Amino acid sequence: MGSGPELLKHDPAIEKWVEMREAQHLNFRPTARNTRLGLLVYIAIPVIGYFVTAKTTNRWDFFLSREGEPLLKEERQKAIAAAAAKQE
């Protein structure tokens, strides 16, 4: 019942694909296309992500914000200054 020398039929095409996939790093050649792709993925995308993060960090203030109040720190500071000027 399922025992014997051939439990699984092997497909030669799948076996060849698996062997090629396992040895892919041995057959890699640094071409111009691979270099551009590597630079894009490993340098450009993280740099863009860093600049986007640096631009938006500390720009928003969600702490103890009430409904209708601005969430941008600059606008909130202006609103607080205007409210303080009204009270004086």
**Are 67 and 88 members of one domain?**
yes
DSSP state of 70: -
Q: What percent of the chain has pLDDT above 90? A: 45
Is 14 domain-assigned? no
Q: What is the pLDDT of residues 19-44, one digit of tens each?
A: 999 999 998 899 999 999 999 999 99
Is 84 domain-assigned? yes
Is 40 domain-assigned? yes
Q: What is the pLDDT of residues 34-70, one digit of tens each?
A: 999 999 999 999 999 999 999 888 887 777 777 877 8
Is 3 domain-assigned? no
Is 2 domain-assigned? no
**Are 49 and 27 members of one domain?**
yes
Burial 65-82 (b: 16+ CB within 10 A, else e): eeeeeeeeeeeeeeeeee
The domain in which residue 81 lies consists of 60-88
**Are 25 and 51 members of one domain?**
yes
Q: What is the pTM of this model?
A: 0.51
